[in-house]
Amino acid sequence: MKDNTVRVDPFDNLKKYRGGFDITNVHYWTSVFFTGIFGYAIGGLWLLLGIVCGLLFVINKFCCQKDGGRNTKKCLPCICKSCHFSPIPLIMSLIILIMVASVIVYIGSAKFYSESRTSVKVIIKIAADASEIIHNATTALGQIQKALVGSGISEDISTKLNSTAKKLDNVVDKIVNITTKNRRTVNKAFKVMLLFPIVIVSLNLVAVPFLSDDMVTLTIMVNLWLVILCWLMTALCWLIFGLYFFLANFSSDTCTVLCNFEENPYNNSLTFILPCNELRSAKSILHEIGARFSILVNEVNANLANLIPDNVTLCNPFTGPPEYLYQTEHCPPNSFQVGDIPKVLEPYTCFDDEKCSSEDLLVGSEYRLIESYAMPIQSLLNMIPWMDHLIGCRLVKDAFSQVLEKHCKPLKKSARMAWIGLVFLAVMMMFLIVLWTIKACQDHHSYHPSDSPV
């Protein structure tokens, strides 16, 4: 799937942004945010129009009054009194449509909030799992290094393992920091995006039916404030439409780049935060671990055949050369794990140094030394499949696959539903305000035919 993030960038003299999906690039954010310009522009113009109308009302109300406050001069003649149609049927139809649009906006925004939160939780969980795996591996390495001190066994394998684990640890810390650093900010943004539609829907459910009654029964000031409120809600609808249109495009970009990452984790737009290509160098270290461990196991088994009569062998979980893949099922039935070495050697160990004889295989100090690093080595071996998953970025790929399969389509669909509902709601509100104004003008002149128009 191709990443076609080519958009107008207002921070670059309206030139086309072609840098791909890059959340660390301010030009990406400005270009994708600019996709909602129609909503921002219409909302701003509608708000500006409202200010102009308010100023004209003030001029007509206060600047054209003489004779003790009575309107004796017609500054702004009203043409509504010459209209011969009743807007009531249209007003009632628009109110019904506004209620439907409000429900659509609420459902779309609620679903978008839910899918967004779930997607973030999936990614956070995978990052936490990766961090725990690395922590367990580095803990095992530390135990092995302590056990190897003074044992005479070469520490180069442990040193290389420690270097590999630190490299993995740094990468995972980077991923965890990126995913958790802005988690609260992202969650707050999602809550705000859900709160705005809820407020708009709630106000519509109160203000719109209230104004649908005979407007003459309301005072002029109450009518005025309710119209101002609806005017502001309409402008807010357009602004939020722009935001949801931006979020719809951002969701589409995100799903596209996740799909690209699933296909090729080593060359995609997420390389700057998920450096899987850098981790491939650690693959050779795991390969060397398998090779050296296999050599060690072969030497141990050669000596066990002469020392232990039970014909048992130490398990080598790695396949033969040149792959040296870790496979637990590779062990024969009569073999034992590294962690079981103390149990196997215990019957052949003399724990009382004063009573030990030449027939005893081990003395107590030797047994304790073997026991001290047998379990850490086994713990490290248990971590190798997970470390291999991290090196291949398979944990991240699995998380992204889950987001792609279960959440991407609903996320984009709910964002689309929200912005379409907001456009429909804003347009209906604009028509309704115009009809309300016509109705108010007609009613005012029917009750005050000699007055100047408001």
Burial of 446 (0-12, 13-18, 19+ CB in 10 A): exposed
* Domain match, 239 and 337 both: no
Predicted confidence band of residue 305 (pLDDT cuts 50, 70, 90): low
* Domain match, 298 and 402 both: no
374, 392, 410: which is the final residue of a domain?
Answer: 392
Contact residues for 90 (Cβ-Cβ < 8 A; gap 6+) = 431, 435
pLDDT above 90 coverage of the chain, percent: 9
Within a domain: residue 320? yes
Look at the chain and report how many structural domains it folds into. 2
* Domain match, 285 and 325 both: yes
CA–CA dist 157, 287 (Å, integer)? 11
Which of 63-67, 167-171, 325-329 is most confident?
Answer: 325-329
pLDDT above 70 coverage of the chain, percent: 66
Token digits of residue 444: 């005012």
pLDDT higher at 291 or 436: 291
353, 374, 392: which is the final residue of a domain?
Answer: 392
Quote the strand ranges of 351-436, DSSP E: 362-363
Q: Tally helices (H) and strands (E) across the chain.
A: 12, 8
Buried b (16+ CB within 10 A) or exposed e, 153-187: eeeebbebbbebbebbbebbeebbebbeeeeeeee
* Domain match, 173 and 191 both: yes
Which of 7-11, 54-58, 170-174, 294-298 is most confident?
Answer: 7-11
71 three-state secondary structure: strand
* Domain match, 207 and 243 both: yes
pTM of structure: 0.71
* Domain match, 370 and 402 both: no
* Domain match, 97 and 228 both: yes
- pLDDT of 221-247, one tens digit each? 666 777 788 888 899 999 999 999 998
Within a domain: residue 452? no
Predicted pLDDT of residue 145: 59
Residue 154 has pLDDT above 60, yes or no: no
Within a domain: residue 454? no
Within a domain: residue 407? yes
H-type alpha helices, 59-150: 88-148
* Domain match, 256 and 405 both: yes
Range of the domain at 363: 280-392
* Domain match, 142 and 207 both: yes
